[in-house]
Amino acid sequence: MTAPFQPPARTLLGPGPSDVAPSVSRALAAPTLGHLDPKLLGCMDELRTLLRPVFGTQSPATFLVSGTGTAGMEAVLVNLIEPGEVVLVAVHGYFGARIAEIAARCGADVVRVDGEWGRASDPARARAALGGKHPKLVAVVHAETSTGVRQDLAPWSALAREFGALFVADTVTSLGCIPIDADAHGIDGAWSCTQKGLSCASGMSPVTFSPRAVERIRARSRKVASFYLDLGLLLDYWDGAHVYHHTISSNLTYGVHEALRLVHEEGLDARFARTALVSRAAVAGFEALGLELLVPTSERLPQLLAVRIPEGVDDMRVRTRLLQQFDLEIGGGLGALKGKLWRVGLMGHGATRRNVLLLLAALRTCLEGEGFRPKGDGAAAADAVFGGR
């Protein structure tokens, strides 16, 4: 008879998932409830209240889509795009390209503006690329998971408003790590995930829609193509009526509720400050080792650092050794950057001094095994940023 599966204890420092707090793990293992159980519905109501400040919105159309971050992406796009509409998409990484792909599948006339991977997109180039077309929707990636680029949302919001277009943003790697300020930036639709900055298991996608977006959806000339992701039907389930739509996972709902509770217990400003401090320490450590980062400081995400792999160092050999010898996971490059960089995630529960020092010491051992001679002691340099605590 097959024995129960026993997963190893890993330290997760890749682009996601991130380490999960013990109380979140306990919540995920709590007794299962039916999807219309009054206790679960009460938990869902509380969860929405906890989620809105993390997005920086007061919109009541803020809830969870059952599915990973891509389900959230599709939920926003399939509800807000009608066939034939012009959609402007800024692409400076793997997930900007995914937005463009899904928008095209929704029947949009996609104006895709490609920029350099590792740099933020330029709204002036995007305006020129429109060539006289008037977009109905403008889409950007706030935190590009493939490169660690942070996109300033303000100029893109202004561009969308210039054309009277809706503005949507991918916040998969930003929610719970850096401010989003959805209302202040005029975001009409945003999506995220539960396994990165919120430090829960994957399987849910937080989304938010502005009142303006909800009005646009209700005024559509045709039904939303997806039944499962139809905003009107989803809101009927999440709002006070709680009309059956699908069988939500009660266990994932408990887990996200607890993860959000921990965010508020720490405080958003404190969480953002902790993430920034841990990032500065990690950057000091990488530079002490003689490693270079892909993204310039002004455009760099604190929670996801893209580190260039030195010439002569084998990507998979290092990551395999980190996993097998140190029970430590980091990510590799995607697309054109595969084999050229490591993606180091310092998110949520995993953004700690211990994890940074562990990674830098282990990485030094692996690099020396590849014949790379570090310039200095990365762990010591990082610890100095922490104040030697």
- Left, alpha or beta for 261 (phi > 0: left; psi -120 to 50: alpha)? alpha
Residue 310 maps to which CATH number? Answer: 3.90.1150.10
Confidence of residue 241 (pLDDT cuts 50, 70, 90): confident
Number of domains in the chain: 2
> Are residues 297 and 195 both part of a single domain?
no
Q: Tokens standing for 331? A: 């990510």
Which two three-digit tokens encode residue 155?
């100029």
What mean pLDDT is reported for the chain? 97
Same domain, 304 and 244: no
Residue 339 shares a structural domain with residue 192? no
Q: Rounded to two decimals, what is the model's pTM? A: 0.96
Q: What is the pLDDT of residue 165?
A: 98
**Per-residue pLDDT tens over the stretch 288-319:** 999 999 999 999 999 999 999 999 999 999 99
Nearest to 359 by CA among 381, 319, 323, 328: 328
Is 5 within a domain? no
Residue 1 in any domain: the answer is: no
- The confidence score (pLDDT) of residue 181 equals 98
251 with 116, same domain: the answer is yes
- pLDDT tens figures, 125-159: 999 999 999 999 999 999 999 999 999 999 999 99
Boundary (domain end) residue, out of 233, 264, 295: 264
pLDDT of residue 217: 95
- Report whether 210 contacts 187 (CB < 8 A): yes
The CATH number of the domain holding residue 104 is 3.40.640.10
Asked if residue 87 and residue 75 are part of one domain, the reply reads yes
- Report the pLDDT averaged over residues 159-164: 97
pLDDT (average), residues 319-348: 97
**Does residue 168 contact residue 76 with C-beta atoms inside 8 Å?**
yes
Q: Whats the size of the chain, residue-wise?
A: 389
Helix axes 268-289, 250-266, angle to 10 degrees: 90
Closest Cα to residue 64, out of 25, 31, 39, 35?
Answer: 35
How many Å apart are CA 261 and CA 198, to the nearest integer?
A: 10
> Does the pLDDT at position 30 exceed 80?
yes
Q: Is 328 inside any structural domain?
A: yes
Q: How far apart are CA 243 and CA 140, in angstroms?
A: 33
Tell me if 359 sits within 8 A of 344, measured CB to CB: yes
C-alpha distances (whole Å) from 329 to each of 18, 205, 370 are 10, 23, 18
Task: Note whether residue 116 is domain-resident.
Answer: yes
Helices (H), 89-142: 94-105, 123-130
Query: Do 115 and 230 share a domain, yes or no?
Result: yes
Q: What is the pLDDT of residue 389?
A: 55
What is the Cα–Cα distance from 169 to 155, expressed in whole angstroms?
A: 13
Are 228 and 87 part of one and the same domain? yes
219 and 89 belong to one structural domain: yes
In a domain, residue 159? The reply is yes
Mean pLDDT within 329-341 = 96
Range of the domain at 92: 22-264
Q: Are residues 163 and 254 in the same domain?
A: yes
Report residue 208's pLDDT band, with 50, 70 and 90 as the boundaries: very high
Is residue 1 very low, low, confident or very high in pLDDT (cuts 50, 70, 90)?
Answer: confident
Q: SS3 for 49?
A: helix
The stretch 359-376 carries a mean pLDDT of 96
What confidence score (pLDDT) does residue 221 get? 87
Are 204 and 325 part of one and the same domain? no
388: pLDDT strictly greater than 80: no
